[in-house]
Structures are given as structure tokens and as C-alpha cells.
């Protein structure tokens, strides 16, 4: 068995040998974020993967994120460090179910949160992430929008863009949806001088109680720039790694101890080492699906 330092050293060697880059989502285990070349939210990581010149991308995150990297970078070998790291929200919609819904709402433009499979993206008009969902919806000339699969992000957008008729899908994130407004009120009583920062995957009532609503990166940036020194964090606990590392003088309280995404936590140093050593688990996509999904992602990326 290799110890942590040996593992880190081997990963570094393999990375150079294979001309690889390690990308990690903000929710990854601390030890994975530590060895990553880049850490970010879904949008930043997609962009980074599309624009770097390495041959191999080792994705430390969940399946849909590695798929997005492959959609945008077809000539690269994209590896997902843990094969069964999925996203339960992404599994709450299938391409077949979306095709059925499109028949029901023929005039609606389909906006698809990137937390979805390549097949679902391929059936959509445009993608969005939690950091640009409002801008994406505002950019659409049509009034009727079928927003899939996150009903919480969809409700948040509906409030910000009231001129649109947003039809919601019955999907949600099991980690964020669990947070109740009572929990927010309770923790605010304990830390009355702290600002509440939450992810838009939280319920509408929770977002309404917050001082700031944003993607993982937007939450991290907000805390960094803010003059406040205490924050209650309403998103997955992995963001605490960067928040604490980069803001040693500030204090962060996790809104609930339940803010853990079990799938994000599957990836360890061993997973990254094995992925690089054995070149697994490679993401492969049907070219027809990839091209259609790319169209929806490209339309989003053009918005900026």
C-alpha cells in the first residue's frame, strides 16, 4: 500500500508521462482538490477542458461533468476517476421522457441544466449552469420555456425572469433539496451576524431567506470579496476547502451537516492514481448524440 505522499508523487509522474490534466469540482474531497490542476464549478471546468492542450483529462467529479468535457473536447481522452460517481438529479430525466414532454409543450424552448446526460442535452435547445441560468433564459426570445431537470433552479430563474412562462420538471438534488427553511432560521439565530450563501438547487423558501444565491464558484467569490467575516454556507461541504484555505481570517459555518454529496465523495487519491495508471474510466459517446448535445452547450457558452 502506498502512503498519501507516495500516491501524490506517483500521480504527478503519471500525469507528466500521459500528458494529462487533473480537473476537480468544488465538491471533491480535500485531498483531491489539493492535487488538482484546476478546481471550479461546472461552467468553469467545461470551459477549461475545451481550451487546454493536454491529451488526457482526468475528471474528478460526477458523470455528467466528464461527459460535458468529452462533448466539448472529442479528440481528448476523458477519464472519470470513479465510474459510479453519478448525479441522482441527472437521473431524474431521460431522453424518452423529455421527447414526450416536448410533444405536450410543442412551442416551448427546452433549457437544460448541465446536470443531465448527453442524451438529454441532445434533445434540448440550450444548456445552462447554476451560474448562468438567468442570463440563458433572458437570452431566449420565446416566452415558453421547458426547464429541466431541476425544479428548484427553475423556480429561482422564474422569479428572476417573471416575463417568461417557465414549465418545471419534477427533478431536484437530493443533497440541497433536503435543506429546510426552518434549518436556515435556526442557524441564523445561532450566528445572527453571519451572511447566508446558498446554491440555487436549494428550495425556493431557502433561497428567499439567503443573503446571496449562486453557483459554487459564485459563493466562493462572494465570500472572498465580501467585507463580512462570517458566513453560513448552504451548499455541499466540499466548498469549505477553498473557502478556508483562501480566507484564513473568515469563519464559515456549514448550514447543515447533511450537505454532503455521496457521489462527489467517491473519488479519492487512489481513484485518481488508478485512473491514470490504467487509463480508466474512459468516457465514450455516440457521435450523433455528441454533436447534438454540443449544439446546446455551444449556444450556452456563446452567451458568455
Per-residue contact string for residues 209-248; x = within reach of ligand 13P by CB under 6 A: ------xx--------------------------------
Neighbours of 168 (CB within 10 A): 18
Of 207, 205, 239, which is closest to residue 223 (Cα–Cα)?
A: 239
Task: Pick one of ligand SF4, ligand 13P, none as the site partner of residue 42 (Cβ within 5 to 8 A by kind).
Answer: ligand 13P
Q: 124 or 235, CB closer to ligand SF4?
A: 235
- Residues 40/221, Cβ–Cβ less than 8 Å: no
> What are the DSSP E strand ranges found in the chain?
20-25, 38-40, 56-60, 77-80, 109-113, 126-128, 144-148, 165-168, 195-198, 212-213, 230-234, 251-254
Residues 186-205 that bind ligand 13P (CB under 6 A): 199, 201
Residues 162-181 that bind ligand SF4 (CB under 6 A): 173-175
Local structure of 99: helix, strand or coil: helix
What's the rounded Cα separation, in Å, for the pair 31 and 28? 8
Task: Pick one of ligand 13P, ligand SF4, none as the site partner of residue 68 (Cβ within 5 to 8 A by kind).
Answer: none
Q: 178 or 228, CB closer to ligand SF4?
A: 178
- Residues 216/199, Cβ–Cβ less than 8 Å: yes
- Residue 89 interacts with ligand SF4 (CB under 6 A)? yes
Cell numbers that stand for 182 in this block = 426552518
Please, which residues bridge with residue 232 across strands? 196, 253
Annotation: binding site for [4Fe-4S] cluster:
87, 173, 261
- Residue 152 interacts with ligand 13P (CB under 6 A)? no
Q: 87 or 133, CB closer to ligand SF4?
A: 87
- Residue 155 interacts with ligand 13P (CB under 6 A)? no
How far is CA 15 from its chain centroid? 24
Residues 1-60 that bind ligand SF4 (CB under 6 A): none
- Residue 236 interacts with ligand SF4 (CB under 6 A)? yes
- Residue 261 interacts with ligand SF4 (CB under 6 A)? yes
Residues that bind ligand SF4 (CB under 6 A): 62, 87-89, 115, 173-175, 201, 236, 261, 263-264
Amino acid at each position: 500500500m502506498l502512503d498519501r505522499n507516495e500516491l501524490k508523487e506517483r500521480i504527478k509522474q503519471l500525469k507528466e508521462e500521459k500528458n494529462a490534466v487533473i480537473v476537480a469540482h468544488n465538491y471533491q474531497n480535500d485531498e483531491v482538490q489539493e492535487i488538482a490542476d484546476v478546481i471550479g464549478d461546472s461552467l468553469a471546468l467545461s470551459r477549461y477542458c475545451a481550451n487546454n492542450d493536454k491529451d488526457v483529462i482526468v475528471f474528478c467529479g460526477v458523470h455528467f461533468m466528464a461527459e460535458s468535457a468529452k462533448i466539448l473536447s472529442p479528440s481528448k481522452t476523458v477519464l472519470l476517476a470513479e465510474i459510479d460517481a453519478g448525479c441522482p438529479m441527472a437521473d431524474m430525466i431521460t431522453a424518452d421522457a423529455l421527447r414526450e414532454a416536448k410533444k405536450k409543450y410543442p412551442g416551448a424552448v427546452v433549457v437544460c441544466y448541465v446536470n443531465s446526460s448527453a442524451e438529454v442535452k441532445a434533445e434540448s435547445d440550450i444548456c445552462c449552469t447554476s451560474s448562468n441560468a438567468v442570463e440563458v433564459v433572458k437570452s431566449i426570445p420565446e416566452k415558453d420555456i421547458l426547464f429541466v431537470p431541476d425544479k428548484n433552479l427553475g423556480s429561482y430563474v422564474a422569479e428572476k425572469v417573471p416575463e417568461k412562462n417557465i414549465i418545471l420538471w419534477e427533478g431536484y438534488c437530493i443533497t440541497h433539496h433536503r435543506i429546510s427553511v426552518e434549518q436556515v432560521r435556526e442557524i441564523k439565530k445561532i450566528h445572527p451576524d453571519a451572511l447566508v450563501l446558498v446554491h440555487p438547487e436549494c428550495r425556493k423558501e431557502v433561497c428567499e431567506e439567503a443573503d446571496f444565491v449562486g453557483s459554487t464558484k459564485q459563493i466562493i467569490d462572494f465570500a472572498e470579496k465580501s467585507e463580512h467575516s462570517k458566513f453560513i454556507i448552504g451548499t455541499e461541504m466540499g466548498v469549505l476547502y477553498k473557502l478556508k484555505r483562501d480566507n484564513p481570517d473568515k469563519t464559515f459555518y456549514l448550514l447543515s451537516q447533511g450537505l454532503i454529496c455521496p457521489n462527489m465523495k467517491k473519488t479519492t487519491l487512489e481513484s485518481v492514481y488508478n485512473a491514470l495508471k490504467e487509463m480508466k474510466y474512459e468516457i465514450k459517446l455516440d457521435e450523433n448524440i455528441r454533436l447534438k448535445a454540443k449544439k446546446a452547450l455551444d449556444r450556452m457558452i456563446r452567451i458568455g
